[in-house]
Amino acid sequence: MRLRLCTWNVNSVRLRAEQVARFVDEQAPDVLCLQEIKCQEAEFPRQAFIDMGLPHIKIAGQKGWHGVAIASRLPFEEVAPLDVCREGHARCVSAKVAGVEIQNFYIPAGGDIPDREINPKFDHKLDFYEKLTAEMAKRDPKAPLAIVGDLNVAPGEFDVWSHKQMSKIVSHTPIELDAFAKLMASGQFTDLVREAIPDPQKLFSWWSYRAADFRASNRGLRLDHVLISPGLREAAFRSGAAAARVHDDVREWERPSDHAPVSADFEL
């Protein structure tokens, strides 16, 4: 069977339920992982997702900020969410679908100053990565696992509009790239989107709202990821190549999120 897994920082699920419905209609995800839903569980537009054909829903909500959810065409098996957020924010929700464990994250952005001594937000971001990396090091790499979501790091030279200019800006600083690399190594993860669309092609999933025309300025970052364990590689490459992409056309829609959805297909 084909399992299409999508991740999207939707930047308010209630504001963008119609856009989500359009995306689901056009791309037919089996599992849709959302970040920054910006609502509590009782406020989530559950019926809209049932109407989309995604009736199985897990939500970690929070008043006003953060919040993550997983909506699925297929039923869930329970998986414990990873307790790696020291602030207790709603930043992780987990489920197992068709035998694949999915950990959906909204990792802290980290504020503006890339110094953990003077910026508590940046320290929190690095602490989050350190705790997650320690958890992944305990895992059996043969178990099918996908870490998805807005991980708030653009890890490669071609994942930012200007490697030189962004190297001092939060999301692409050397200390963040090192934290991301340690996470990748801890679980022997594969960056599936980059396997499908290799360097040196520039690839972004986020563009600032400040640009009147995001394509013209194209000052983007690749912050949204699908990372898979060795236990999921065979399913990802069964056709001979990875099938993953950034749906940047969605960023052109009316009143868009500043993030575009990312999808990956697996043959289970």
Instruction: State pLDDT tens for residues 117-151.
Output: 999 999 999 999 999 999 999 999 999 999 999 99
Q: Whole-prediction pTM value?
A: 0.98
What pLDDT is stored for residue 251 in this prediction?
96
Report yes or no: 100 and 3 within 8 Å, Cβ to Cβ.
yes
Burial 123-149 (b: 16+ CB within 10 A, else e): bbbbbbbeebbebbeeeebeebbbbbb
Residues 6+ apart with CB under 8 A from 213: none
Q: What is the mean pLDDT of residues 26-36?
A: 98
H or E element that contains 95: strand 92-97
In Å, what is the CA distance from 55 to each residue of 32, 34, 268?
Answer: 11, 15, 21
Q: What is the mean pLDDT of residues 220-239?
A: 97
Q: What is the mean pLDDT of residues 56-65?
A: 94
What pLDDT is stored for residue 216 in this prediction?
87
Q: What percent of the chain is modeled with pLDDT above 90?
A: 95
Rg (CA), the chain: 17
CATH architecture of the domain formed by 2-267: 4-Layer Sandwich (3.60)
